[in-house]
Structures are given as C-alpha cells and as structure tokens.
Amino acid sequence: MATRSVAMGLVETHGHPEAGGHATRPKDLLGAAVNAVILSIGTELVRGLRLDTHARDVARALADLGVDVLRHETLDDDADAIAEAFRRAAAADAVIATGGLGPTQDDCTRHGLAAAMDVPLVEHPEAARHLEAWTKARRRTISPSNRVQTLLPEGAEVLPNPIGTAVGIAARLGDAHIFCLPGVPGEMRAMLDEHVLPRLRQATPGRVTRVRTVRTFGLPESVIGERLADLMTAGRPTRLGTACHAGLIDVHIHTTGDPDEADRLLEADAAAVRERLGAAVFGEGEETIEAAVARLLDAQGATVALAESCTGGLIASKLVAVPGMSEHLLEGVVAYSNAAKVRSLGVPEEMLEEYGAVSEPVVCAMAEGIRDRAGADYALAVTGIAGPGGGTREKPVGTVWFAMADASDTEVICERLHGDRPLVRERSANYALNMLRLRLG
Ligand code: ATP
Ligand code: MG
C-alpha cells in the first residue's frame, strides 16, 4: 500500500502508486495558497430544472478557509464529459464534485473519475461494508443496482456517508486532490463539513478570505470603474469587483491571507474607495439606503413625510423596516389616482388636467402638499410610469418624477429608469431615498 501526501493530510491513495498518474507531489500545500474547482454534476442542473445551490455553498465554505475558487462548472450526467472535466480541473490543487453518486444508470460520476484517472472501477471493501450496514440497519435488502455504489476508482479512498447509501470518494488525479460528494443536499453538506473542509483547513492554516463591501448610489458603474481602475488591476493583493441592483452599486473588496494582514489591506482599500466615490457612498456591508437615511434623520432629529404614486408605498415600507422610524416618519400617502392626489395632497385639479399626473408641477405639488399637511421637515414625492402599459412617446415607461421639499425649497428631477415594473418601482424608491440622504448628509 502506498500512502502519499500524508503531510498534507488531504487524500491518502491506496494501491498502485501510479494510479493518480504521479509519484510525488511537487508542491507542498501546507500554508501555501490553495485553489479549487467546483464541479456540479446533474442533468437537472444543466437543463435548469433545479438551481445549483451546491456550487454556492461549497464556494462559500472554501472561501472561508482562504481557498481560491477558480471556477464552477455544471455538467450533465455523462461519463465522458465528466472525465474530461476532471482532467481539466486537475490543474487546480483541489476539485470538489457533487452529484451523480447514486445507484441509477444516470449516475456516472465514479465512471467519469475512473476514466480520467485511467484506472478501473473496483469494489472497495469499506464501501461494501457501508452499504451492507446501512441496508441492514434499515431492514432492507441490497438491490443489484446499489452494488455500483461499492465501486470506486482503483486507488481511491472512501469518504463515509453518515446519512445515505452513497459513500463519497477521495482520490488523486495528477497533483490534484479530488473529492466527490453525493448530490442530496443534507448528505453533501454533512460530508463537506466532516471530511473535506477539515482536510483543506489543514492545508491552509492561518489563512482566511475576507470580503468588505462599500455600498453606493448615484454614480454609473462605468464611472466607478474609471475612478477605481488602478485598484482593480490584476496582481494586487486585493481584488475589487462591482455588483449592481436597482440602482445600488456595491464595490466588493476581497483578499486572502493572514487575518491581520487581510484586515489591514481591506481597510486601506475601503478607505480609498470611500474617498474616490465621495457622496455616492452610503454605507458598508449590509447597510441599506433606508438605514443610511434613518441614521441621518436620527442625527438631526428630523421628520419626513411621503407622497407616493408609482412606488405604491414602497418607500414607506422600506423606511418602516428600520427600527426607530416612528420618531421620524410622520405620514405616507399612497395617492395613486388623480382624485387622491387632489383630495389627500391638495394638488390642483387644473394642474393635473394641464400637465398630467407624471409631470414636474404635479410632483412638486405632491411633495409640498404632504409636507404641509403632515408638518414634516422633509417630504418626498414620486410619480411615474412603472409599466408595462401606460407609456407614451413623450412619457415612455420608466419616466419617473421625483421631488424633495424642505422649508427652503423643492428639488425636482426626472429620470428614465429601465427595467420591468418591479424593478422600476424598486429603483424609484431607492432614488427618492437617495435624494433625501444627499440632502441630509
Ligand atoms: P443519490 O442518488 O444517492 O441520492 P446522487 O449523488 O446521485 O445521490 P443526485 O441524484 O445527483 O445525487 O441528486 C440528488 C438530489 O440532490 C436531487 O434532487 C438533485 O436535484 C439535488 N442536487 C444535486 N446536485 C445539486 C446541486 N448542485 N444543487 C442543488 N441541488 C442538487
Ligand atoms: Mg444526479
């Protein structure tokens, strides 16, 4: 019996030393950067019948250990495709594959791995014992199709399954450490935690991946990219990326390494990002734009009222989600019809007739009307066309007017927001909240 890579504690291989196609591992993983590829195997994933949540879960768990995840691949239950994917992925230090270890014809991960390793599938005594014990404990009989689950590529190691019939597989392919886990979510998670993560943790002592998020609103992604260009170049110890949703643009900063050093690098980059993006930055981490507004209202002891048309109460709902808002939000009116705009906000009827509900004078009158009636320091008003119907040539879908009134003046702006109805409403709410944030800030 040949046992390799004991120092790394990752995968012990049994049997032929050449089984993995290598004799010694040239690179010692201990304390070094470790990278990984994640393979999600299952026809239902490729066809879109089921969302691949394992790749996300495995990636997060690996990132916590400071393992660099190079890529995710989603594969059909096809032995040739699986074999090829394993060969390609073996350029990484570790490969974590999930799915396709079951007893049915379509489960062929073990076949693909054996082909990639160029070894036969052989019955593994430990896998056979596991299957016998599992079926006996449940007073079941082993069906002939279950027998395939006792077959492992020659030289591979069993990863015990505490819950199900399918054992996992650990093997070497070239320099790579391969781990195959069942697709059943509970089994996958249990075996990842019990067998895979501890081995990777040994290989990455003292390494962590840290992520910091700086949240912005108001600058286009392209401008953010230009201002942060030098921080985004390859070869720096941190990696920066942007992600946008409903007008909010997050700048994520990642780094992997020693925890103190990682914190120091992230702090330096976050400070640079905040400085370069200026007033567009409203918070960090999970902080929402409404929470940022609430913080500012709190600091100033100010009050606000809302007049919402196309957002239908979304701004109020967002603000009310922040604890302590009863001190600051006096009133929110959803004035969806013209009649309601007249009755509840005091918008002149003639104004609605002359300019239409989605117009500059009307949005100003809405903001000023609710501010007066509620007796608030600030008022926000929104009126627009969320779609999909209701657009015209002059006022296409996504045309939204915003107004923010305080004691001194009323600021008004028109935006053409893109996206479907939910997105236009979400962006509009964020946009209005951002106007107030900038005024308060
Ligand atoms: P077994 O046959 O022993 O149950 P298996 O390894 O063959 O295990 P699969 O049949 O491939 O596993 O998948 C079992 C279940 O887990 C299926 O419902 C499948 O849709 C789900 N599943 C598999 N892979 C993923 C994944 N990447 N993300 C989310 N669900 C998955
Ligand atoms: Mg499957």
CA distances from 206 to 31, 32, 67, 211, 259 (A): 8, 10, 11, 16, 7
Mean pLDDT of 110-132: 95
In this predicted structure, the answer to whether residue 309 has a pLDDT above a threshold of 60 is yes
pLDDT-based confidence at 392, cuts 50/70/90? Answer: very high
Task: Show the domains of the chain with their CATH numbers.
Answer: 3-203 (3.40.980.10), 208-284 (3.30.70.2860), 289-440 (3.90.950.20)
CA of 71 to the centre of ligand 1 (A): 20
Compute and round to an integer the Cα radius of gyration of the chain.
Answer: 29
CA of 38 to the centre of ligand 1 (A): 15
Please confirm whether the linkage preceding 388 is cis (ω < 30° from 0).
yes
Q: Where does 216-258 have alpha helices with state H?
A: 221-227
Closest ligand to Cα 74: 1
Mean pLDDT of 19-26: 36
Q: Which residue's CA is the closest to the ligand 1 atom numbered 22?
A: 183
Strand ranges of the sheet holding 304-308, from the earlier edge strand across to the other edge: 329-334, 304-308, 378-384, 399-405, 410-416
- Which pTM was predicted? 0.71
Mean pLDDT of 207-227: 93
CA gap 214, 286 in Å, rounded: 9
189-200: pLDDT as tens digits: 999 999 999 999
Ligand 1 pocket (Cβ < 6 Å) reads 40, 42, 44-45, 50, 52-54, 98-102, 107, 164-166, 182-185
pLDDT-based confidence at 136, cuts 50/70/90? Answer: confident
316-332: pLDDT as tens digits: 999 999 999 999 999 99
The string of DSSP letters for 59-83 reads: HHHHHHTTPEEEEEEEE-S-HHHHH
234-293: pLDDT as tens digits: 889 999 999 998 899 999 999 988 889 999 999 999 999 999 999 999 999 999 999 999
In this predicted structure, the answer to whether residue 205 has a pLDDT above a threshold of 50 is yes
CA of 166 to the centre of ligand 2 (A): 12
What pLDDT, on a 0 to 100 scale, did the predictor assign at position 30? 45
- DSSP letter, residue 232: G
Position in ligand 1 atom list of the atom nearest CA 55: 27
In this predicted structure, the answer to whether residue 6 has a pLDDT above a threshold of 60 is no
What pLDDT, on a 0 to 100 scale, did the predictor assign at position 144? 83
pLDDT-based confidence at 4, cuts 50/70/90? Answer: very low
What pLDDT, on a 0 to 100 scale, did the predictor assign at position 2? 35
Mean pLDDT of 198-214: 88
CA of 184 to the centre of ligand 2 (A): 9
Report the DSSP pairing between strands 157-159 and 168-173.
antiparallel
